[in-house]
Amino acid sequence: MRNETSNQMAGSAALLLAAFIWGFAFVAQRTGMDYVGPITFQCSRSLMGCLTLLPMILFRDLRKPSGADHPQRTYAEDSPAVTKVPEGAREKKSGHLLLTGGLITGVTYTVACCFQQYGLLYVDVGKAGFLTSIYLVMVPLCGVFLGEKIGVKVWGCVVLAISGMALLSLNGPAGFGLGDILILLCAVFYTLQIRAIGHFAPQVDSVKLSFLEFAVSVLLTAVPMFILEKPQLSQLVAGAVPILYAGVCSCGIAYTLQIVGQKYAPPTTATLLMSMESVFAMIGGVWLLHQIPTRRELLGCLLILTAVVMVQLPGRRHREVLEPEEN
């Protein structure tokens, strides 16, 4: 029991550190664009993410025993009534799923990040962090279009999130600004990315899926980068620190911490800790960029954070399943 508690605490600490890294990545994304354009920054950070994850993939493959890629055989598989799938066909199916998942998550991730990068040209990083975090409310809400039942709690969280958005962004008769709209579009595509990851990740190697996600982002942004922004080597060198932070720390180190943390921390705890990313983004904006939010904006952030936290908490029915009453 003591070891289990220690593992949970270590997992929670890893996830909190990952949220800290992701939150301060908003600062890196904003300062990085003092040196390079939004598309160049996205291409560069994704390339750094690929280079960071590649050694991890090679190390894991070298340590993996022969046949470890395949699920363990069950007694049912030995029955003559079960049609046995050849190993080659199984590998082909797994590879196809990995490539399909990498393409879909890569496209949605790239579009989301590009909207976010352009949005950060117009809004403060703290505000961007909280508006982005609304995807955590959108993910369960997205289930409506997939025929899933949505409880009253989720709809209540949607109302809270919308109220928070209004306080955070509607500061005059003009309505939402361009930056607000871009960040909200980013949240929509992050929602699609999370749903895609939820579909493919259980079926394939999650680290390889993430590597392909970043690789697809590099391919999608490389051509527009050279055509629209024409980056110079001197610009990349000048912006090396924020690019490396966003690529190596945010994509590589934080992703590894997420894998370790989710292995030991309970799912609800894991999601709640990762939602702290928006809080750290606000802290980073105030501390490093001196972007001080107004009281109205702080109230909006509080409502959004409340919605994000509440939507992750298990409902009454779910708690009864997890904690059945003793006879």
Inside any domain, residue 29:
yes
Q: What are phi and psi of 79, to 5 degrees?
A: -75, 140
Closest alpha carbon to 305 in 9, 23, 18: 23
Q: Between 312 and 167, whose confidence is greater?
A: 167
Inside any domain, residue 320:
no
pLDDT at residue number 257: 85
Q: Between 126 and 89, whose confidence is greater?
A: 126
Inside any domain, residue 78:
no
Q: Between 140 and 326, whose confidence is greater?
A: 140
Can you tell me the mean pLDDT for 36-51? Answer: 95
pLDDT at residue number 79: 39
Inside any domain, residue 121:
yes
**Given a cut of 80, is residue 290 above it in pLDDT?**
yes
pLDDT at residue number 320: 41
Q: Between 321 and 125, whose confidence is greater?
A: 125
- Non-local CB neighbours of 188 within 8 Å, separated by 6+ positions: 112, 135, 138
Is residue 26 within 8 A of residue 128, CB to CB? The reply is yes
Per-residue model confidence as pLDDT tens digits over 161-210: 999 998 888 765 556 789 999 999 999 999 999 888 888 888 888 889 98
Inside any domain, residue 73:
no
Per-residue model confidence as pLDDT tens digits over 50-103: 999 998 888 888 877 655 554 443 333 443 444 454 555 556 677 899 999 999
Inside any domain, residue 176:
yes
DSSP string covering 22-82: HHHHHHHHHHHTTTS-HHHHHHHHHHHHHHHHHHHHHHHHHHSPTTTTSPPP-GGGGSTTS
Inside any domain, residue 74:
no
Inside any domain, residue 180:
yes
245 token code pair? 């932070």
Is residue 218 within 8 A of residue 17, CB to CB? The reply is no
| Distances from the Cα of 105 to the Cα of 91, 115, 189, 231, 251, angstroms | 21, 15, 10, 26, 14
pLDDT at residue number 78: 43
Domain of residue 164 covers 2-64+91-314
For residues 251 and 212, give the distance between their C-alpha atoms in angstroms, rounded to a whole number.
12
For residues 144 and 277, give the distance between their C-alpha atoms in angstroms, rounded to a whole number.
26
Q: How many domains does the chain have?
A: 1
Q: Between 11 and 89, whose confidence is greater?
A: 11
pLDDT at residue number 264: 80
**Given a cut of 60, is residue 215 above it in pLDDT?**
yes
Per-residue model confidence as pLDDT tens digits over 245-257: 999 999 888 888 8
